Structure 1
């Protein structure tokens, strides 16, 4: 009897030991964060630091336009990715389509670090679904060594054949290019008036035919650096990165006005690891990390606590942090209804197929 008891106890101890080590192994197993983000938009060192801090692994996938990102989510990516980085004006449509889930603000105490002017904006008034990531403008990058000193700082470099200085490229991003054409024509950058959209369509088609093409994301920046293009429609931070590679590259906000945008972090509705996603958002909002992010990619930070840590040269650069005169020419794009989106999408389809 004692032998049987001893055997049973020994077996029980073995089972408990196996259970203990199984749980220990499970706890130690690295979690994976699937990050879906614009190309060249985060310092790899930040990802390494997050992996170390959370015993996790970050897998990065990239896109070059909001339209591509939304199409991917609608095609099944909503259950594949943990973090996406959309631009402000597409957020309401993503919520309407059921692509995003509410944030767990209990896991994001660093929300307190945000600048008040980037909190509670109309596209997400309670910041239920999004947290600011970076902000900037969409303007014109150019080669200083190939344009005359006294050229007109206008969207005419793209849309007026008389102001064309050699090859130029347009950005393959629907709302940005429609807004650029609208600014040049004197229209609201978010116009959906049919007659105005027709003029925008004709202007974009003419420009596209004279251009070296529509290029997504950082493509315009790379064309400027290589010298393939003399002028390009680019995001402000990309132009500044290009200037680091080639000092002959400049950037300006056209006199007619330009699009100011805010990219935000959000969690897809069926993210496989939402808790880790919330912790990633909180990590990015840390003051030191926020400054590291903007010092790396040369876009402006919405993180007030990070501002004192921004490279002084960047902090004083009006291409990154516009002065009051320039800021007055900037406009956020309005949120469009599904019907309005169909109108502008039809224009963009006609442009791309021309």
Structure 2
């Protein structure tokens, strides 16, 4: 009798697991109505856990999340690390027919040749969100953070190593992927000087920084363009700009952890997101550029013409994707440790 009962319990747990998708993603990074539509269309319940940085997500996977979550949404530069650590499993492309909607420019990325492990979700930039009552014109330079004479009030820096170090690099006229120790020391000193300013109010994730702006606790913050646009919601009191020195680009992708409990549900969700209409809804909700070519055709013209969403050619010339630096990642890791600990 006990054996039969145990078998029934095990089967019930397995069935429940197959009816649930454990999504691990960035805070406020999906339209809740899209989740509800997926649940209604498939009968699969979506449970969402949030993170605020790629490093937080990686640490969680390494601490057991690799067998807890079915789908993650990492940024481009962290993917080679996740792949090398065997934290992701190859996709079964036969289960993703909407893969055909992916823009060819994103179909064979250098961080994942042939999209073996990932499919693009959204892409965007890191820039400066600011209060327009304090800055009458968009800040032209990152000096409004890094030069005490140019600061106009409290500000926050982004709590993300590669993005924040990269912005420091751009401010000094360097590539965001520079790992020369002597030049990286200059970046460290620049960030430490900003950190020691009486106007510095801490390192923050994108969402938390925008909330501080809305609460009038700061006047400027380094944030993702998506967070700035969604938070401001057209409010003229807030602006977003990419200073002339340039910044970083990112593309976030969907990937399945190596020991995901329900990879079948993960594949169904990926395919659902790649639908043209769903992809357009996602981009509009997030105020973000999309790697989905079929979805892009459905976006409103005013969205496609907004340089805060789709950078201009001039802006693209000073924007860089963050690349994995292999063994030289150590130089940047140590730099960030020094910045945060001093």
TM-score (norm 1): 0.90
Structure 1 residues not aligned, in runs of 5+ = 1-22
Paired with 1:222 and 1:134, the residues of 2 have a C-alpha distance of 22
Whether 1:125 aligns to 2:113 is yes
Paired with 1:73 and 1:25, the residues of 2 have a C-alpha distance of 23
Distance 1:24 1:165, change over 3 A: closer
How many aligned residue pairs are there? 331
The 5 A counterparts of 1:231-250 are 231-244=220-233, 246-250=235-239
Paired with 1:77 and 1:25, the residues of 2 have a C-alpha distance of 19
Cα offsets for 1:45-72 (capped at 9, x unmatched): 1111111111111000000000000000
Shift of 1:264: 0.4
Paired with 1:300 and 1:231, the residues of 2 have a C-alpha distance of 23
Paired with 2:301 and 2:227, the residues of 1 have a C-alpha distance of 19
* Higher Cα Rg, which structure: 1
* SS of match in other structure, 2:253: strand
* SS of match in other structure, 1:213: strand
Q: Which moved more, 1:99-108 or 1:321-330?
A: 321-330
Paired with 2:23 and 2:236, the residues of 1 have a C-alpha distance of 32
Paired with 2:52 and 2:222, the residues of 1 have a C-alpha distance of 14
Shift of 1:127: 0.3
Distance 1:279 1:148, change over 3 A: same
Cα offsets for 1:5-33 (capped at 9, x unmatched): xxxxxxxxxxxxxxxxxx99987986110
Paired with 1:309 and 1:152, the residues of 2 have a C-alpha distance of 32
TM-score (norm 2): 0.93
Paired with 1:162 and 1:132, the residues of 2 have a C-alpha distance of 41
Whether 1:69 aligns to 2:57 is yes
Distance 1:95 1:145, change over 3 A: same
Q: Which moved more, 1:36-45 or 1:196-205?
A: 196-205
Aligned-residue Cα RMSD (Å) equals: 1.9
Paired with 2:145 and 2:157, the residues of 1 have a C-alpha distance of 8
Distance 1:25 1:275, change over 3 A: closer
Shift of 1:336: 1.5
Shift of 1:119: 1.5
Whether 1:328 aligns to 2:314 is no
Give the 4+ runs in structure 1 shifted more than 6 A: 23-30
- 2:328 matched to which residue of 1? 340
Paired with 2:256 and 2:122, the residues of 1 have a C-alpha distance of 16
Shift of 1:247: 2.3
* SS of match in other structure, 2:196: helix
Shift of 1:245: 6.5
Paired with 2:94 and 2:195, the residues of 1 have a C-alpha distance of 48
Cα offsets for 1:231-284 (capped at 9, x unmatched): 100101111112217321111111011101100000000000011101110000
Paired with 1:29 and 1:140, the residues of 2 have a C-alpha distance of 42
Paired with 1:265 and 1:24, the residues of 2 have a C-alpha distance of 29
Mapped contact 1:36–1:85 kept (Cα < 8 A):
yes
Mapped contact 1:39–1:217 kept (Cα < 8 A):
no
Distance 1:28 1:124, change over 3 A: closer
Whether 1:91 aligns to 2:59 is no
